[in-house]
Amino acid sequence: MNVIEKLTEIFKEFPGIGERQAKRFVYFLMSKNGEYPENLSALIKELKKDTVQCSECFKFFISASKKEKKCEICADPNIDFSTLMIVEKDSDLESVNKSRIYNGKYFILGGLVPIVEKNTSSRVRINELIKKIKNEKKGNHTDFYVRNQLKSTIEPLSIKISSLGKGLSTGTELEYSDNDTLKNALKNRQ
């Protein structure tokens, strides 16, 4: 494979990017002056160097020192420690947090559970979630899977699980939802 094909393959790994869009990215980079690709490359390296994953919620965050283990949300003493929102990815957490409707803890599951796949625990952080709930005693297909996996853990602790309600269609990407829609979904969760 030549460099164009290699870069195309890399860009195809990005969420929502197919072959045509990946090639557009490659040709866009080729059309830019020498500084642009160099700046992009330097920023990617800097991002990897300065980014840490929160030990509590698994959110990626920029850290001044690699010693920080908790993101700014998990380290905030003013959050509601009695609630835990489970989201698929970092961008979902950011969308809900930006709405300022929810003030509890988060947990990034790290993916969705396919209907046909048997080994689902390797695709999502279900074991980490169970451990978190046991340690802290708090509380479509992925929702069903999470509820079933947590059932034996949460029932003895009388923990209630709720899902987002009115305002969000099944399968909706939270990162593309506006604040009012998120506010209604949180207020009307079931």
User: Does an H or E element contain 144, and which?
Assistant: helix 142-154
Helix (H, G, I), strand (E, B) or coil at 16: coil
CB atoms within 10 A of CB 75: 13
**What CATH architecture does domain 3-52 belong to?**
Orthogonal Bundle (1.10)
The mean pLDDT values, 10 residues at a time, for the chain of 190 residues are: 94 93 95 90 90 93 83 93 89 90 91 70 79 64 76 82 64 69 67
Residue 99: what pLDDT? 86
Q: Where are the domains of the chain?
A: 3-52
The Cα 186–Cα 164 span in angstroms is 6
User: Does an H or E element contain 44, and which?
Assistant: helix 35-50
Residue 139: what pLDDT? 43
The Cα 156–Cα 166 span in angstroms is 29
